[in-house]
Chain A
């Protein structure tokens, strides 16, 4: 955060003032980024000072791999929307996410995954496109 705010602060120095406005477009960003950089620095120093005296906390039993895979899946879904369209990418995403969170056992489990995925895509598409006149993404590859 410290480095990001410093880089952005540097970029604001290149912004030219407007003769119509007494303070230019870089004035407020400089204040905000200056405050952000100062607070980040404060946090870094406080953290470094506290680390010496602090005992390491026991690592919580969290499934970060699952979180990472869920984010990856969501990233792929976002990317697929433009190419595959809403319906197909939603079916694939819901099926994959459901299977990832609760791995199906046997044909019945896979049937449940497929049913949830198809129903989600179909019902949301029906409600939003038909009744709420919200146009959902079309795929450039699929055309629907």
Chain B
């Protein structure tokens, strides 16, 4: 393992891989710093540029975007009080008050160094656990895969805060997208509605790009035109210089906080399609609960920044574990990576690491080196990043849309994919407006085919349906699905009762 990692590191520092990694990280830092531009959108923008590259070059660029985005998101959180991305929301709670209190450099660099430490601790988990988990997954038959995918879908749908039914329905609609076109086992045409393009099924990348990019762009567009002024609460002339050794000591002198936040980030990352937005809030909440001075949280203390930033960077490692060991995307960014792998003819899943060891360890190395690259970008360029935030969205959004069109078109050089982009762009925006979560939908689109293939393979191997329950791993996974669903139901009931009680109090 160490030899392969060493070879991966030696490989990734070559100019042909380091340049895309550097550019990806730079784009990620900028995208992460721009409020209203998420890492998912940034990685979607980068996707078409990777089509003409080698697989490791493209994946290095995407990993750079992911790590850079998680690190860059804290810049505006700390200095402007606006989270650059959802996974930096909790950073704002203490980062911005600290910056306003005259310590912007301390707030910023606490976040950056916590991101680096959290990310590198995550790397240890990524490198050490992906291989063993993939080996475990190799013992899976179609029954276990079917149950695993059902568990992934039920967990994601159940974690939706607004409505459990909407979460489940969103996942089911995602699966509906995959049943249009030829059936994946015998290739028999079904539900094409007479549309020739549908015979090959709907490609998932234009769906993903359309749903995520347009849901976000249009959600920003609907708020435009109100003449709102940008917030510039912290004086941009203030010095951001700090003693880096002192900042590092502030973090390392809180080892339990750092390790626990990293652990939370990893666990949330491993769980499918949840992402850093939940990780940073949960880590912040945990840090507050276990703190000896919880009342100080929100006033500008280092613990809040460390917890949030260590967890969201560790989350990246967790997401990479899931996609590399099981072929299940940990979040939307890794879903795009899954698409990039497919374009290059590489099958993700348990065989990925053994069949593509050079690529897999190259990805590990890219993840580790991306942290150093992000640091190298931020050390001289953090003040410059604040200027980028001023780019007008009226210019940014049309350019992003054009890159989305190229990404969809270039998949197989057909304008039909652009029409899919349009249809699912409208659909994604409508879903957001009606309160349907996007994560279960995308997971349904990605896993729908696999669920069907494994269901049919299982039935073809042995027609006894009880095997799904009597095989220990499969039964355990299905039991976990039921428990996850029951827990989500209980949680929703509790929230509803609490809301109803609060409304009752308000009425009186």
Q: Which residues does A use to contact B, with CB under 8 Å?
A: 1, 5, 8, 11-12, 15, 18, 20-23, 25-29, 32-33, 35-36, 39-40, 42-43, 46, 61-64, 66-67, 70-71, 74-75, 77-78, 81-82, 90, 93-94, 97-98, 101-102, 116, 120-121, 124, 127-128, 131-137
CB-CB under 8 A from B48, the residues of chain A are: 128, 132, 134
**B415 A82 Cβ-Cβ under 8 A:** yes
Smallest CB–CB gap between B88 and chain A, Å?
Answer: 24
B224, B410, B463: the one within 8 Å of A22 (CB):
B463
**A36 B419 Cβ-Cβ under 8 A:** no
Determine if B221 is an interface residue (Cβ-Cβ < 8 Å).
Answer: yes
Smallest CB–CB gap between B437 and chain A, Å?
Answer: 13
9 further interface pairs, Cβ-Cβ under 8 Å (given A70-B217, A81-B405): A12-B191, A33-B176, A74-B422, A78-B405, A128-B49, A128-B406, A132-B51, A134-B48, A135-B413
**A90 B218 Cβ-Cβ under 8 A:** no
Q: In chain B between 161 and 192, which residues have their CB closer than 8 angstroms to a CB of chain A? A: 163, 165-166, 168-169, 172-173, 175-176, 179, 183, 185-186, 188, 190-191
**B409 A1 Cβ-Cβ under 8 A:** no
Q: In chain B between 404 and 434, which residues have their CB closer than 8 angstroms to a CB of chain A? A: 405-406, 409-410, 413, 415, 418-419, 421-422, 425-426, 429
Smallest CB–CB gap between A46 and chain B, Å?
Answer: 7
Interchain CA distance A46-B168 in the complex, whole Å: 14
- Assuming the A-B contacts A43-B165, A94-B398, are A29 and B190 also in contact, with contact meaning beta carbons closer than 8 angstroms in the complex? yes
Smallest CB–CB gap between B459 and chain A, Å?
Answer: 6
Determine if B139 is an interface residue (Cβ-Cβ < 8 Å).
Answer: no
**B221 A66 Cβ-Cβ under 8 A:** yes
Closest to A131 in B: B52
Determine if B395 is an interface residue (Cβ-Cβ < 8 Å).
Answer: yes
**B402 A63 Cβ-Cβ under 8 A:** no
Closest to B183 in A: A25
Q: Which residues does B use to contact A, with CB under 8 Å?
A: 48-49, 51-53, 163, 165-166, 168-169, 172-173, 175-176, 179, 183, 185-186, 188, 190-191, 217-218, 221-226, 392-395, 397-399, 401-403, 405-406, 409-410, 413, 415, 418-419, 421-422, 425-426, 429, 448, 451-452, 455-456, 459-460, 463
**A63 B415 Cβ-Cβ under 8 A:** no
Closest to A32 in B: B175
Interchain CA distance A66-B459 in the complex, whole Å: 51
**A63 B456 Cβ-Cβ under 8 A:** no
Closest to A133 in B: B52
15 A-B residue pairings within 8 Å (CB atoms):
A5-B176, A21-B456, A22-B460, A22-B463, A25-B185, A25-B186, A25-B188, A42-B165, A43-B163, A78-B415, A81-B418, A94-B402, A97-B398, A98-B394, A102-B394
**A29 B179 Cβ-Cβ under 8 A:** yes
Interchain CA distance A95-B405 in the complex, whole Å: 16
CB-CB under 8 A from B410, the residues of chain A are: 128, 134-136
Interface majority SS on A: helix, strand, loop or mixed? Answer: helix
**A67 B398 Cβ-Cβ under 8 A:** no
Interchain CA distance A124-B53 in the complex, whole Å: 16
CB-CB under 8 A from B425, the residues of chain A are: 71, 74
Interchain CA distance A131-B403 in the complex, whole Å: 15
- Assuming the A-B contacts A21-B456, A120-B402, are A70 and B169 also in contact, with contact meaning beta carbons closer than 8 angstroms in the complex? no
Interchain CA distance A12-B193 in the complex, whole Å: 11
**Which 6 interchain pairs have the tightest Cβ spacing?**
A102-B394, A132-B52, A101-B394, A25-B183, A97-B398, A29-B179
- Assuming the A-B contacts A39-B169, A67-B222, are A74 and B401 also in contact, with contact meaning beta carbons closer than 8 angstroms in the complex? yes
